[in-house]
Structure 1
């Protein structure tokens, strides 16, 4: 879709109404209640969130991506796409230079950047839904509606749902070990996934009991963790979290540390509401109940 900025055929509305007589190819309402109307499916897309980038590739539309953030690191081929900076404060000049037909973002996009882009005539769609499987499915579907890949999105969602059912069946009736998920620890503060978080839900579906479900949100304490003394501890594979955690006092007092029941997981699989969430659930279930998946 080649076009001059001075003769935009795209209308992004807060209310209703469309100047063009032809029915738009894209008609989507984003999480802010704004209507995105595009006369044609986009050829040039800038993604401002890792889960959006992953979704584009999973939909078979990675070739549309002309810009992404520093944190968009999967799949590997995304490294060849120019970065426009961070999620919170992307470089507006870089985005403009890429001449995107649409910018797709998540909740992390600042209102200031959002408004600046729209004032420059660049359509912006923000997809921010509850952290849940349903929210993940809606994100995938909304991105698919923008790029014309709804059937592929439905196939992806069917695959995730099948994985959920497979995991639930595999762990049904098994003992439910107590699990603690490490986001950060020590001098950076003790942060985990408390009650109501998506990771809390994943732990439950994977056949575990989240010991941090006694608090809401993300903040915890070393004292409370020592008191709970979980059976299994799951750490991010990045930043040497597992190695550091197992060497740091007072966590060395935990039974799971002493007995070698501290495991690593790719946190992007469980943190990002995107097409790999089923893979994340399966990875977590294999940690909690390896016996259920022995071949």
Structure 2
């Protein structure tokens, strides 16, 4: 057994060595474990872990708020990765029932995504590959680092309603890295429903919309939503759509794919 410090718990989590069976209820951790070459140890994931493609084929035993405890009882994982925020209560329940749980902090910056790679590597005992992955991701960030931030950007997620990121988010940080400036970078909230009057006043240059899943219907629905809120002026701006769960994702592929994409649309 080794003791791994948890920033979230402000305590040490005892993890067996070697780690043979992992349950990951955190999509970012799932992706990281596979990228570290230990995907064969993941025996189950949450419903939203589909990166990389191999993760799609694993048993799906939970979501943000629940997990199939009979699976855990039967398979006895060495460690369960969770994420804070929506899984805060679930994490408490699993710990109380005696499972070895390592809760991952929500990424409030791109730097936190990098740090979480090191953390996952420490938990599963893969130090060298974690260091290598960290450095390759850091180089990707530096390659896409812009010295200017002149493009005003408005980002909207479809989360059952219009939601936009504020200052303490990996999305707002990535926008700045890529040469933009989130128009709500002055807000202390991580994610919130924007006031249409504020969007109008801030007058962004670029609009980025992330649907749950990109279709022509979703594009039209977004346009209708803007019109209903008196924001149809945004349709005359440069509007870009993501494929869904693209900017929201907090795993390594956010750095490998989303940041270069942001850089490309800001410089186009």
TM-score using structure 1 length = 0.78
Query: Is 1:133–2:107 an aligned residue pair?
Result: no
Query: Is 1:206–2:206 an aligned residue pair?
Result: no
Matched residue, 2:165: 193
Q: Determine which of 234, 237, 241 is the counterpart of 2:208.
A: 234
State the Cα distance separating 1:94 from its structure 2 match: 2.2
CA offsets per residue over residues 154-202 of structure 1, 9 Å max, x none?
111111211121112xx435x72211001138xx543211233221111
CA offsets per residue over residues 38-80 of structure 1, 9 Å max, x none?
3422111001111111111111111100011111121111121
State the Cα distance separating 1:254 from its structure 2 match: 4.1
Q: Determine which of 258, 261, 264 is the counterpart of 1:283.
A: 261
CA offsets per residue over residues 77-115 of structure 1, 9 Å max, x none?
11211111212221222222222111111113243x434
Contact 2:223 2:235 in 1 (8 A): yes
State the Cα distance separating 1:204 from its structure 2 match: 1.2
Matched residue, 2:249: 272
CA offsets per residue over residues 184-236 of structure 1, 9 Å max, x none?
38xx5432112332211111111112122343322311222223332110011
SS in 2 for 1:180: strand
Aligned-CA RMSD value: 2.4
TM-score using structure 2 length = 0.86
Runs of 4+ in structure 1 off by over 6 angstroms are none
Q: Determine which of 213, 217, 223 is the counterpart of 1:246.
A: 223
Contact 1:129 1:139 in 2 (8 A): no
Contact 1:251 1:257 in 2 (8 A): no
Following the alignment from structure 2 to structure 1, what is the Cα–Cα distance between the partners of residues 16 and 68? 27
Contact 2:166 2:185 in 1 (8 A): yes
Following the alignment from structure 1 to structure 2, what is the Cα–Cα distance between the partners of residues 38 and 195? 34
Q: Determine which of 154, 157, 166 is the counterpart of 2:134.
A: 157
Change (3 A) 1:67 1:253: closer
Following the alignment from structure 2 to structure 1, what is the Cα–Cα distance between the partners of residues 267 and 126? 36
Change (3 A) 1:38 1:225: closer
Change (3 A) 1:109 1:120: same
Larger Rg: 1
Change (3 A) 1:242 1:288: farther
Following the alignment from structure 2 to structure 1, what is the Cα–Cα distance between the partners of residues 50 and 248? 14
CA offsets per residue over residues 107-151 of structure 1, 9 Å max, x none?
13243x434434544211112155123322222112111222111
Change (3 A) 1:116 1:258: closer
Contact 1:67 1:98 in 2 (8 A): no
Following the alignment from structure 2 to structure 1, what is the Cα–Cα distance between the partners of residues 135 and 80? 27
More strand by share: 2
Following the alignment from structure 2 to structure 1, what is the Cα–Cα distance between the partners of residues 158 and 177? 23
